[in-house]
Structure 1
Amino acid sequence: MPIVFLLSIALQAACAIHVVRSGRPLYWIWLILVGSYLGVLIYALVAILPDWRHDPRGRNVASKTLKIIDPQRRRRELERQLELSNTVDNRRHLAEESLALGDYANAQELFQSLLTGMYVTEPYFMLGLAQAQFGNGNYADTRQTLEALIEANPGFKSPEGHLLYARCLEELGQTEAALDEYRVLADSYPGEEGRFRYGRLLARSQRRGEAREVLQTQIRRARLMPGYYRRKEQSWLKAAKMELAQLGDA
């Protein structure tokens, strides 16, 4: 059966379900069925798109779709805003977007430009700089930035910053120091990444029994968590199971 025909049926079915659920007149179903792609297009323009503009979930879906289609769109908007007004907020937004897109060189330059004057020890700007430095593979600079951050802001707490520091130590070959940090993160980090990285580094350090115990405990704990949590942490839980499989039986 041609793919075009199957796609038409799928779109018509989805629109028909929307008609029923939204309480619209049933003549829309006949229009959709008779009009095929044209009927679907008309219904989407007249009914679905206006609904999405007033529905936070619809706006969220539309935003994610646009990001997939054109991932650079928001950055271009932020660059235009920065050209119009070179403010701290505009530079921060562009730095964060560059970081999210993996453009670590640009993010590093922007965060460094923010760390001046009254913002010279701003902890979130320093953390952003450290994340960009890590992304660029500058692990020694990352460690230096994070240590300067804590020295200047002793009360600042950031699970992401703590995890980044542990990863930095691991990359620098300071295994025991990294394990000490991961050991704390295994209980304090709000998610499964800290526990997984602790177990994996134990395994890489030939401490297979300890690694197995950490990863098995991680899987058991996750089973007791709500479904939405397991879905959110699925990638780390899957990685933990794969690591366990490689470790084999005791």
Structure 2
Amino acid sequence: MEVFGLGIHVLVAIFFAIHVVRTGQNMYWLAILFMFPLLGSVVYGIAIYLPSSRIEHGAKKVISVAGKLLDPDRELRAAKEAFEYTPTAQNQMRLAAALLAANQPQEAAQHYEACLQGPFASDPAIRLGAAQANFACARFEACLTHLQTLRQQSPHNASEVVAVLMARSLAGMGRTSEARAEFEFALQKYGNFDTRAEYAIWAQSLGDTETAQRLKAELDQTINRWSKHNRELNAEMLRRLRDAF
């Protein structure tokens, strides 16, 4: 039994050693794990492995969701109080993001636009936030202007998000051929689930059932392989797909 127990300790240490290498942790963990298999594994598991595991992420998500259900406006209130007490650009950015998350895009857009007039005018995150807020207000032309500026100034920043939002803005402006070209560009260059889903939803709304059904079939293949966790993370997109089709 002692030999069996020692073997388990070594296997656990090897498992954590693989995790060290794959995740780029400091190499001194390897020495600790193999010099002290039991104690080293316990320390590594608590200090490194659990905080990066799905268990930890799942727990944080449950806490976050519970907090939003019990007090959905907590972050918005805190952001407003911080900005009123100290009206810095950083606090204004926080307030703009909280307003957008709280489905108050018009006020969010105002704060984002104000941030772009100051020293953070070239900040890509603020520019993207301004674009998203304007899109939520159905101000598609303003959204498109921000996205074009963002693509010119920072071509590698959130490029997939920019491409899809640009396609949706063009669609909102009735520029159908340009919207299709941007969707195709995003699909060919990135082709992840959200890009494919947005394209499918738009094609279905346009009456292009051939494109919509082709994309939907590809999406269904991915969805069928998803775990419950993945379905929960993408619940809003799955709802939109069900409504569209």
Structure 2 length-normalised TM: 0.66
1:142 paired to 2:143: yes
The answer to whether the 8 Å contact 1:98/1:106 transfers is yes
> Which ranges in structure 2 are unaligned for 5 or more consecutive residues?
1-55
DSSP-derived class of the 1:118 partner: coil
In 2 relative to 1, CA 216–89 (structure 1 residues): closer, same or farther, beyond 3 Å?
A: same
Q: Percent identity?
A: 22
Q: How does 1:76-225 map to 2 (within 5 A)?
A: 76-186=77-187, 192-225=193-226
The answer to whether the 8 Å contact 1:191/1:233 transfers is no
Give distance in 2, aligned partners of 1:170 and 1:142: 12
Post-superposition Cα deviations, 1:97-153, rounded to whole Å, max 9, x if no partner, equal 011001112211111111134322211111111111111111111111111222222
In 2 relative to 1, CA 235–157 (structure 1 residues): closer, same or farther, beyond 3 Å?
A: closer
Q: CA RMSD for the aligned pairs?
A: 2.8
The answer to whether the 8 Å contact 1:159/1:190 transfers is no
The answer to whether the 8 Å contact 2:151/2:159 transfers is no
Q: Say which is worse superposed, 130-139 or 146-155, in terms of deviation.
A: 146-155
Give distance in 1, aligned partners of 2:225 and 2:111: 43
Give distance in 2, aligned partners of 1:100 and 1:82: 17
Instruction: Answer with 1 or 2: which has the greater Rg.
Output: 1
Which amino acid in the other structure matches residue 199 of structure 2? Y
Post-superposition Cα deviations, 1:72-115, rounded to whole Å, max 9, x if no partner, equal 22212222212222222211111110110011122111111111
The answer to whether the 8 Å contact 1:192/1:237 transfers is no
- Aligned partner of 1:8 in structure 2 is none
In 2 relative to 1, CA 231–83 (structure 1 residues): closer, same or farther, beyond 3 Å?
A: closer
- Aligned partner of 1:34 in structure 2 is none
DSSP-derived class of the 1:143 partner: helix
Q: Say which is worse superposed, 60-69 or 73-82, in terms of deviation.
A: 60-69
Give distance in 1, aligned partners of 2:132 and 2:73: 20
Q: How does 1:38-77 map to 2 (within 5 A)?
A: 61-77=62-78
> Which ranges in structure 1 are unaligned for 5 or more consecutive residues?
1-54, 245-250
Which amino acid in the other structure matches residue 186 of structure 1? L
The answer to whether the 8 Å contact 1:105/1:136 transfers is yes
- Aligned partner of 1:9 in structure 2 is none
How many Å apart are 1:214 and its aligned residue? 1.8
How many Å apart are 1:175 and its aligned residue? 1.2
The answer to whether the 8 Å contact 1:187/1:195 transfers is no
Give distance in 2, aligned partners of 1:227 and 1:68: 21
How many Å apart are 1:231 and its aligned residue? 4.1
Give distance in 1, aligned partners of 2:91 and 2:209: 48
In 2 relative to 1, CA 165–72 (structure 1 residues): closer, same or farther, beyond 3 Å?
A: same
The answer to whether the 8 Å contact 2:164/2:198 transfers is no
Structure 1 length-normalised TM: 0.65
The answer to whether the 8 Å contact 2:151/2:162 transfers is no
The answer to whether the 8 Å contact 1:219/1:240 transfers is no
DSSP-derived class of the 2:68 partner: helix
How many Å apart are 1:196 and its aligned residue? 2.3
Give distance in 1, aligned partners of 2:228 and 2:67: 28
The answer to whether the 8 Å contact 1:78/1:93 transfers is yes
In 2 relative to 1, CA 157–73 (structure 1 residues): closer, same or farther, beyond 3 Å?
A: closer
